Structure 1
Amino acid sequence: MAYKDILAPVLTLGEDEAALVAAGEIAALFGARAVALIVAVHLSSDFADTPHTLSDVLADIAAGSRSEAAREREKVVAWLEGAPHDFEVRDVRVEGAVEQGEAEAHARVADLVVIARADAHKRARRMLVERTLFNAGRPLLLVPAAPVRQRRWKRFVIGWNGKAEAMRAVSAALPLLKQADETIIATIDAQPSAHGEAPGRDLAAHLARHDVKVELRNLDGLGRDVQQVLIQEAVTADADALVLGAYGHSRTQEMLFGGVTRALLAAAPLPVFLCH
């Protein structure tokens, strides 16, 4: 099994370059097709970061190919033309992407979706993440927007609690784990339970049979929040990504993330590989 299609939604080059770099690197590892889905946010959009006066909106519409969204697209395309890995370019308006199901339609036929965690267009990004994980049901790599850096994708930490979502994340990440130099299974304050007498041992044996170079570590939480323990372990291990299940539930047609997932999405200083 290998990744063959990598999708990277892009709203602005400044905020999404890190995601494009990661998508290109992973595509290169597997000889995969990389797709940049350019999401246009016009000044008139409800998804624009700041409200604009009517005169500004009308002037932007009249600018046509020189509108703010068009100029942002030009910057993204120019970057892609100089990127080490080739990208296919697709275009969508933000309303179509997040309100009419177009982004999740693209995501459904991708092996992995890579999105930047950034402050710009936060509402649209949150909806893209939710649509990818919960509607399209695809694995997501959430990459910090800064700093933009290269990664070898050779070291991973799995946050393991024995739940179905965690196993789905591990299975979705398996192509990356198989080519890695080191994979750490991290359990926190683990006790014998329905997940086994030695939590994580069965997963370690399963991954070893897939030729994953794996190590099991039971971490002492010392009363800290789960996300703090996992982040510290990942940073100490110099991991390229943290792999874990995404937990959420529905309320009035909106997916709400569980506490640990939400905290990791907000604070992790390294990429987080998620699957629901």
Structure 2
Amino acid sequence: MDGKTVLITGSTGGIGKETARGLATLGATTFLLGRDPTRAEAAARELRADTGNPRITALTADVSRPTDLRRLATELADRVERLDVLVNNAGTSRPRREVTADGVEAMFATNVLAPFMLGGELLPLLRGGGRIVNLTGGIPKGRIDPGNLLAERKFVGFTFSQYNHTKLAVMAMSLGFADRVAEHGVTVNVAYPGHASTPGNRDLPMSAFPVVYRPAAPLLRWFGPRLLGGDAVAKASRSSVYLASSPEVEGVTGAYFDKHCRRAKWPPSVLDQANQDTVWRLCERLRG
């Protein structure tokens, strides 16, 4: 990755930071993106020290806000002439339906709309060989409900529900994006990281668990990191690092890769053209 420039969203902790660590170790000029400037700069200092790569820079933006994403794209364009890799790692899970200041359901705004917008805003920097890697997560199975993408009819707060719905939606959006940017020489692929104990899921409030599971929640939180192993977060970053850097996937686009860096089958609901079109139209409307 010497001579390459990468941007990883949600990279001040968890899988995103390990993805940044992996790419920086390979020599990439690495931009970390987080919401908190203090935490972002601390992560950048840590990775510069750990990897010996001085070309690690912290940026800040709230990826759930379109105005922040446009500002970020302008700031990055002022700093670099080219972006070789965009890893849309940032994600969120909420125990109840919340909306952003722009009136968008929070999980959809972060997990789906942000990758859609950043890919578009940064397309001028990515043209001619750039790679976009979008992360799915949770249990990306089941069906996409085109009438409930913003949880306007029904919201279930546990992580195996609306969160998964948004992760299916980002997969559908990614397929459509891959088709639309192919003429610009940009590839778009989706990575599944597997499960890991990250700050995001460790800090879920008790209300995020269904009532029947709440008595067991403290045990799940305690046993989770131990069952997964101390290197689970690093392992979960492998598929992202692979899609961002490997020559084996140069020119590959519109593909889905599992946690073992192997091509996997898309869920049938993601392949449904009507679902892809519905998600795309919604993203276009919400970006303003």
TM over 0.5: no
Q: TM-score range by the shorter chain?
A: 0.3 to 0.5
Q: Greater Rg, structure 1 or structure 2?
A: 1
TM-score, normalization: structure 2? 0.39
In terms of fraction of residues, the more helix-rich structure is 2
TM-score, normalization: structure 1? 0.40
